């Protein structure tokens, strides 16, 4: 169950919410409340939300909040206030940066409960395994290899942040990353890039600063393709530059068409 809340949470409004969710509290395992439009919350509302969480917890469920209001509400920090009240932290309500990350967490709990493993144990991919370099000759792959380094990230570690400089494109050999867009003190989850795909192509193309944050979703291994080193190699072998940018343009075009289809 997902609820998008707005306005002021006090006894009257929260009691009404409790009544509306009464049947769901008995049947749902997870309830997510998006808090980004909440302007205030009082003591009585906190106690009712705590009661909702306890009812879910009795059935091994969880109440979650996403996109907590940034800054100060009613002269106090919203999240700090809820921690002081004991509503969040420890075995209390779970906090997620974005609604997407909360949905992802709930889905993973359900999969795990049904015996589906979500751990990433894939075999490390080689350059030839990526569609970007499919049908490249051994000599061409060898030239690309000269421009590539490797990096590993632990789960939740950050690769780069919005505004960072960098000319690298990243290819996911194993694991995956979350692409996050900072918006008004919160994050919007744009995509999860998993094994076999790539990201960072915009900075690779235009050498501008990073436009998103990227965190590792799982323990992750990446190939790092440097534009500077790629340019040096392309000067010696122009065919390499033509092949890579042709494949890159095709991949970006497919992504745009897929985005258009989703919007329609």
pLDDT in tens, 154-170: 988 999 999 999 999 99
User: Which H or E run contains 185?
Assistant: none
Per-residue pLDDT band at 72 (split at 50, 70, 90): very low
- Structural domains counted in the chain: 2
The answer to whether residue 243 is domain-embedded is yes
Residue-averaged pLDDT of the chain? 87
Q: Could you tell me whether strands 2-9 and 30-41 are parallel, antiparallel, or unpaired per DSSP bridges?
A: parallel
Q: Judge if 146 and 240 occupy the same domain.
A: yes
Domain with 165, as residue range(s), is 127-263
Mean pLDDT of 94-110: 86
Residues present in the chain in total: 264
Rounded to 10 deg, the angle between the 238-263 and 138-145 helix axes is: 80
Here the CATH number for the domain that contains residue 79 is 3.30.750.24
- The predicted-structure confidence for 79-101, as pLDDT tens digits, reads as follows 787 888 888 877 889 988 788 88
Q: Judge if 96 and 14 occupy the same domain.
A: yes
Here the CATH number for the domain that contains residue 182 is 2.60.120.10
- pLDDT confidence of residue 48: 92
**pLDDT at residue 148 tops 60:** yes
**pLDDT at residue 119 tops 90:** no
Q: How far is the C-alpha of 212 from the C-alpha of 188, rounded, in Å?
A: 10
Highest mean pLDDT among 122-126, 173-177, 190-194: 173-177
Mean pLDDT of 70-81: 63
The answer to whether residue 203 is domain-embedded is yes
Can you list the alpha helix ranges (DSSP code H) found in 6-76? 11-20, 22-27, 43-57
Q: Judge if 104 and 195 occupy the same domain.
A: no
**pLDDT at residue 129 tops 70:** yes
Query: How many Cα atoms occupy the beta-carbon half-sphere of 91 within 13 Å?
Result: 6
- The predicted-structure confidence for 15-39, as pLDDT tens digits, reads as follows 999 999 999 999 999 999 998 888 8
- The predicted-structure confidence for 202-236, as pLDDT tens digits, reads as follows 899 898 999 999 999 889 999 999 999 999 888 88
Higher-confidence position of 244 and 80: 244
- pLDDT confidence of residue 87: 85
- Between 44-48, 96-100, 257-261, the lowest mean confidence (pLDDT) is in 257-261
Q: Judge if 245 and 154 occupy the same domain.
A: yes
Percentage of the chain beyond pLDDT 90 is 41
The answer to whether residue 120 is domain-embedded is no
The answer to whether residue 122 is domain-embedded is no
CB within 8 Å of 79: residues ≥ 6 apart: 68, 88, 95
Q: How far is the C-alpha of 225 from the C-alpha of 184, rounded, in Å?
A: 32
Question: What's this model's pTM, rounded to 2 decimal places?
Answer: 0.65
Q: Judge if 133 and 230 occupy the same domain.
A: yes
User: Which H or E run contains 74?
Assistant: none
**pLDDT at residue 192 tops 60:** yes
**pLDDT at residue 74 tops 80:** no
The answer to whether residue 118 is domain-embedded is no
Q: Judge if 186 and 105 occupy the same domain.
A: no
Per-residue pLDDT band at 185 (split at 50, 70, 90): low
Which of 80, 113, 146 represents a domain boundary (last residue)? 113
The answer to whether residue 119 is domain-embedded is no
DSSP secondary structure string for all residues of 213-250 = EEEESSSEEEEEEEHHHHHHHHHH-HHHHHHHHHHHHH
Q: Judge if 133 and 215 occupy the same domain.
A: yes
Per-residue pLDDT band at 174 (split at 50, 70, 90): very high
């Amino acid at each position: 169950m997902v609820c998008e809340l707005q306005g002021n949470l006090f006894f009257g409004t929260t009691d009404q919410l409790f009544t509306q969710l009464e049947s769901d509290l008995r049947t749902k395992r997870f309830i997510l409340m998006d808090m980004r439009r909440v302007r205030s919350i009082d003591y009585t509302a906190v106690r009712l939300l705590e009661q909702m969480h306890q009812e879910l917890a009795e059935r091994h469920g969880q109440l979650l909040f996403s996109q907590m209001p940034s800054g100060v509400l009613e002269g106090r920090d919203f999240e700090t206030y809820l921690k002081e009240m004991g509503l969040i932290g420890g075995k209390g309500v779970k906090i997620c940066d974005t609604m997407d990350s909360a949905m992802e967490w709930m889905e993973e709990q359900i999969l795990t409960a049904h015996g589906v493993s979500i751990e990433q144990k894939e075999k490390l991919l080689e350059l030839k395994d990526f569609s970007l370099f499919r049908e490249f000759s051994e000599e061409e792959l060898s030239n690309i290899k000269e421009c590539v380094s490797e990096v590993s990230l632990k789960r939740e570690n950050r690769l780069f942040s919005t505004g960072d400089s960098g000319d690298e494109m990243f290819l996911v050999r194993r694991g995956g990353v979350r692409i996050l867009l900072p918006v008004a003190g919160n994050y919007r989850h744009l995509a999860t890039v998993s094994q076999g795909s790539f990201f960072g192509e915009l900075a690779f193309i235009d050498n501008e600063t990073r436009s998103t944050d990227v965190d590792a979703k799982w323990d992750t291994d990446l190939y790092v393709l440097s534009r500077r080193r790629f340019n040096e190699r392309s000067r010696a072998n122009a065919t390499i530059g033509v092949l890579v940018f042709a494949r890159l343009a095709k991949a970006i075009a497919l992504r745009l068409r897929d985005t258009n289809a989703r919007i329609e």
